[in-house]
Amino acid sequence: MPSEKSVILSKYRLERAKEFLDSALKNLEIEEYRTANNRAYYSIFHAMRAVLALDEVDFKKHSGVISYFREHYIKTKVFDREVSDIITSASLIRSKSDYDDFYIAKKDEAAEQVKNAQKVYIITKKYLYGVYK
């Protein structure tokens, strides 16, 4: 059973994931596709960190969070391999959206990123609520 402190932190991070997801949906709606890609990625990132909070681990770099999550939650089949593929895609597209000067974010791509972020949020929330009980 996770500590009370780790559950509180996990719930906080899950709440942040939801905030970023809501923001991604709004950005998609107003056709701010680069920002929607960014917010979708951060929703996924904070969902992963919500899971890691229960292990009482965190990392300074995004790559550390992703690596640990894959090692302890994808490889062990806690989460489906599809989640790993979503993480890879979200990370790549967020990086392009944020750092490539001439990258043109497209509506269908952003919609896919937001849909994937919703999927990861729902899967993660279901898992965490099972652990919290």
Whichever domain contains 60, its CATH number is 1.20.120.330
Amino acid letter, residue 36: A
Distance CA 66, CA 23 (A): 22
Which structural domain, as residue segments, surrounds residue 84? Answer: 4-132
What pLDDT is attached to residue 89?
97
Q: What is the DSSP string of 64-116?
A: HHHHHHIIIIITTTSS-HHHHHHHHHHHHHHHHHHH-TT----HHHHHHHHHH
Query: Which residues of the chain have a pLDDT value below 50?
Result: none
Instruction: Give per-residue pLDDT as tens, 18-33.
Output: 999 999 999 999 999 9
pTM comes to 0.96
- Domain count within the chain: 1
